[in-house]
């Protein structure tokens, strides 16, 4: 039975969503049907399609009363909106259906596992966060009558019932299920817990899979745990991070821990750590397994600290997802490359090879706001390496966003301070790459309101949103000292 609340949201979003012209949305990045989105949820392959749910407030462009929005796609790039999947319509989730994940059950149903949030003592300040289940057919979902399936009583002593959220579920080879969820101790230090279930409905605590010793922020949100290229990988989004040199930045961050799993203790042991993304806007990523075995990750292309400062009086949607990224582990690092399906969206190839840049340069045919650009740079004279190379994009007479590289410091910088905002939120971030002697490979994906940069075949990524009017579509280059550039640009627009 569809509740009144869900029916209301579905009716509302249809009318409001259809009023947003497709020209005002990103082309290949999922944006909410209408209103607000934050985390990607329930990213999965089910019934022959990719499903992506999302934290959703259809009624305004600000966070409130979390629903689950829903979209499906054949290629993870062109999304079709489906009716909202869940509304906060039961006692257990009356304050919101927070983040969660999806899995296909043995009987063919899709199971959604999410955090049901309610206020303490009917309307108090604190939140009670519990894990809940809904099952469905890819369109309509029914919440399990015995929700929650995990609550404070399932937690080891001393861990928080108020911060206990974001279950990521997967199926084991024997058909049983496991999930990880985040919580924290009384110092707000994150704990990732693992639970198991024979059927997806009855769950029990297994272990504290990983603990934050204070190195990586405080509470850990949105954990994801999987094996990749023979390693155990734990991705999570810590709150209240502090920078460590060029690694990590203040505020809400992303963390990838690579290590091994100890079967006896049921514990993860970290060997390496890194940021997932070194740009400005990337948070709460979640992965799915594609039918062909690829591990694919999508993140929320925003950051919480900036959100409240962004003026959005002219917008009827806010928040978008990243381009889906194929993951691999190489040389102990997480590599990310845009899903290969993106290559099928390319058209209008423009290519220049061996162009010397010294001072300002623009090139005929190199422009656009929905584009896939590959840039390979090297010094003209390896004994006299250029000092700084910059590509400006989303540019008009007044505004631009830039990506620059300083070989002597090995630093790539993304900078949107001249992109038009009048507020002083974070406008630039830097990423330190291994010593390169002036050689670097950059891939830049532009999709109207965002830029995602993949450095050296995905060894580092930097993402940010840009709000410059989409008519600003010039691209130009600048070098201090002689750099040589090979560039290939494709349009990605699949305008209907
Ligand atoms: C992360 C997060 C999650 C929570 C959701 C609520 O961005 O805070 O931990 O489930 O957003 O919308």
Token pair, residue 67, equals 């629903």
CA–CA gap between residue 166 and residue 283 (Å, rounded): 13
Say if ligand 1 is within 6 A of residue 165 CB: yes
Residues 6+ apart with CB under 8 A from 174: none
By annotation, the residues acting in catalysis are 39
* pLDDT value for 496: 42
Quick check: CB of 66 below 6 Å from ligand 1? yes
Count CA within 13 A, CB hemisphere, residue 286.
28
Write down the pTM of the prediction: 0.97
Q: CB of 99 closer than 6 A to ligand 1?
A: yes
Which residues in the chain are classed under CATH 2.115.10.20? 4-338
Residue with tokens 């009558």: 145
Site to substitute for ligand 1 among 222, 283, 318, most atoms within 8 A of C-beta: 222
Residues of the chain with CATH 2.60.120.560: 346-492
DSSP E strand stretches across 2-95 = 35-46, 49-57, 67-73, 79-86
pLDDT digits (tens, 9 = 90+) for 172-204: 999 999 999 999 999 999 999 999 999 999 999
> How is residue 309 written in tokens?
């400062």
In 3-state terms, the chain is what percent helix, strand and coil (to 5)?
5, 50, 40
Pull the structure tokens for residue 253. Answer: 């961050």
Three-state SS at 18? helix
User: Tokens 């409905």 identify what position?
Assistant: 201
Q: Exposed, middle or buried by CB within 10 Å (0-12, 13-18, 19+), for 291?
A: exposed
- Ligand 1 pocket member 115 (CB < 6 A): yes
384: exposed, middle or buried (C-beta count within 10 Å: 0-12, 13-18, 19+)?
A: exposed
Residue 224 phi/psi, 5-degree rounding, is -140, 140
- Between CA 218 and CA 37 the distance in angstroms is 24
Alpha helices in 291-446 (DSSP H): 304-307
- Residue pair 137/109 in contact (Cβ under 8 Å)? The answer is yes
Site to substitute for ligand 1 among 221, 254, 304, most atoms within 8 A of C-beta: 221
Please tell me the predicted confidence (pLDDT) of residue 494.
61
Say which CATH class 346-492 falls into: mainly beta
Nearest-atom number in ligand 1 for the CA of 117 is 10
Cα-to-chain-centroid distance, residue 447 = 15
CA distance 28 to 372: 12
Q: Ligand 1, closest atom to CA 115?
A: 10
**241 Cα–ligand 1 center, Å:** 16
* Separate counts of helices (H) and strands (E) for the chain: 2, 31
Which letter does DSSP use for residue 322 in this model? P
User: Does ligand 1 have an atom closer than 6 angstroms to the CB of 98?
Assistant: yes
Burial 259-290 (b: 16+ CB within 10 A, else e): bebeeeeebbeeeebbbbbbbbbbbbbbbbee
Contacts 24+ apart (CB under 8 A), 287-291: 287/43, 287/224, 287/226, 287/235, 287/327, 288/43, 288/44, 288/45, 288/50, 289/45, 289/226, 290/45, 290/50, 291/45
Regions of the chain with pLDDT less than 70: 122-124, 494-496
Question: Which CATH number among 1.10.340.30, 1.10.760.10, 1.10.10.10, 2.115.10.20 corresponds to the domain 4-338?
Answer: 2.115.10.20
Q: Which of 99, 83, 15 is nearest to 316 (CA)?
A: 15
What contacts 311, CB < 8 A, 6 or more positions away? 421, 422, 423
How far is the C-alpha of 191 from the C-alpha of 180, rounded, in Å?
A: 10
101 lines ligand 1 (CB under 6 A): no
Which ligand 1 atom sits closest to the C-alpha of 221? 9
222: enclosing H helix or E strand: strand 220-228
């Amino acid at each position: 039975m569809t509740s009144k609340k869900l029916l209301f949201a579905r009716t509302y979003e249809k009318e409001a969503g259809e009023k947003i012209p497709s020209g005002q949305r990103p082309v290949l990045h999922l944006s909410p049907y209408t209103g607000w989105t934050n985390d990607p949820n329930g990213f999965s392959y089910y019934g022959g399609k990719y499903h992506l749910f999302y934290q959703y407030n259809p009624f305004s462009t600000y966070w409130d009363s979390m629903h689950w929005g829903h979209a499906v796609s054949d290629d993870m790039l062109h999304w079709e909106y489906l009716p909202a999947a869940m509304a906060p319509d039961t006692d257990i989730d009356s304050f919101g259906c927070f983040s969660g994940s999806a899995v296909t059950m043995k009987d063919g149903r899709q199971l959604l596992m999410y955090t049901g949030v309610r206020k303490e003592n009917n309307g108090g300040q604190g939140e009670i966060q519990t894990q809940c289940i809904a099952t469905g057919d890819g369109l309509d979902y029914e919440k399990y009558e015995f929700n929650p399936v995990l609550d404070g009583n399932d937690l080891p002593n001393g861990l928080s019932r108020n911060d206990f959220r974001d279950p990521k579920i997967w199926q084991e080879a024997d058909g049983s299920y496991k999930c990880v969820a985040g919580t924290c101790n009384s110092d707000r230090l994150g704990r990732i817990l693992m639970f198991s279930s024979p059927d997806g409905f009855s769950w029990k605590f297994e272990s504290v899979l990983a603990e934050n010793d204070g190195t990586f922020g405080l509470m850990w949100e949105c954990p994801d745990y999987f094996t990749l290229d023979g390693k155990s990988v734990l991705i999570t989004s810590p709150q209240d991070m502090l920078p460590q040199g060029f690694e990590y930045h203040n505020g809400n961050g992303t963390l990838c821990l690579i290590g091994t799993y100890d079967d006896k203790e049921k514990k993860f042991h970290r060997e390496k750590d890194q940021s997932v993304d070194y740009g400005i806007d990337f948070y709460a990523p979640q992965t799915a397994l594609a039918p062909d075995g690829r591990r694919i990750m999508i993140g929320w292309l925003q950051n919480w600290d900036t959100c409240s400062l962004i003026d959005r009086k002219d917008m009827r949607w806010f928040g978008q997802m990243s381009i889906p990224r194929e993951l691999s582990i190489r040389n102990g690092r997480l590599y990310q490359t845009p899903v290969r399906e993106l290559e099928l969206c390319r058209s209008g190839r423009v290519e220049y090879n061996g162009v010397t840049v010294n001072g300002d340069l623009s090139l005929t045919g190199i422009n656009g706001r929905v584009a896939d650009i590959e840039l390979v740079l090297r010094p003209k004279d390896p004994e006299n390496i250029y000092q700084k190379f910059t590509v400006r994009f989303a540019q008009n007479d007044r505004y631009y966003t830039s990506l620059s590289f300083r070989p002597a410091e090995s630093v790539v910088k993304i900078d949107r301070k001249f992109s038009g905002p009048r507020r002083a939120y974070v406008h630039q971030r830097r990423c330190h790459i291994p010593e390169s002697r002036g050689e670097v490979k950059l891939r830049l994906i532009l999709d109207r309101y965002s830029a995602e940069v993949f450095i050296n075949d995905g060894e580092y990524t930097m993402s940010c949103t840009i709000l410059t009017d989409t008519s600003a579509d010039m691209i130009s280059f600048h070098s201090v000292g002689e750099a040589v550039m090979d560039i290939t640009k494709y349009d990605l627009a699949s305008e209907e």
